[in-house]
Amino acid sequence: MKRTIPVEEWPRSRTVLQFRLRDVPARTSRWWLVVHGGEVDLCDVDPGYDVTAEVVTGLRELVRVRRGTGPGRSCCAPGC
């Protein structure tokens, strides 16, 4: 996932997305995507930065969106 993040389109400030997966064991249910200065890190331990946005979903739904077979843009619309 981190190899395909279009960092040139992201804000220049640090952006942290926290993913909380509902349907996996608690010890593996949280992941953080950190984008800063053109670099992308995927962390399985809290990196300690303020979270910009949180995504709460199931693993299957996340994979479907990532592959382009899920709801796509509609799930990311403001107010959802």
Task: Give 18-38 as a DSSP string.
Answer: EEEETTS-GGGSEEEEEEETT
pLDDT tens column, 34-64: 999 888 899 999 999 999 999 998 888 887 8
Q: Which residue has the higher pLDDT, 68 or 70?
A: 68
Predicted TM-score (pTM) of this structure: 0.74
Q: Per this entry, what is the length of the chain?
A: 80
Of 80, 78, 58, 79, nearest in space to 70 by CA: 58
pLDDT of residue 44: 94
pLDDT of residue 76: 52
State what percent of residues in the chain have pLDDT above 70: 81
Of 25, 34, 28, 23, nearest in space to 57 by CA: 23
CA distances from 67 to 57, 60, 61, 77 (A): 15, 11, 10, 18
pLDDT band at 80 (very low <50, low <70, confident <90, very high): very low
Strand partners, 19: 31, 55
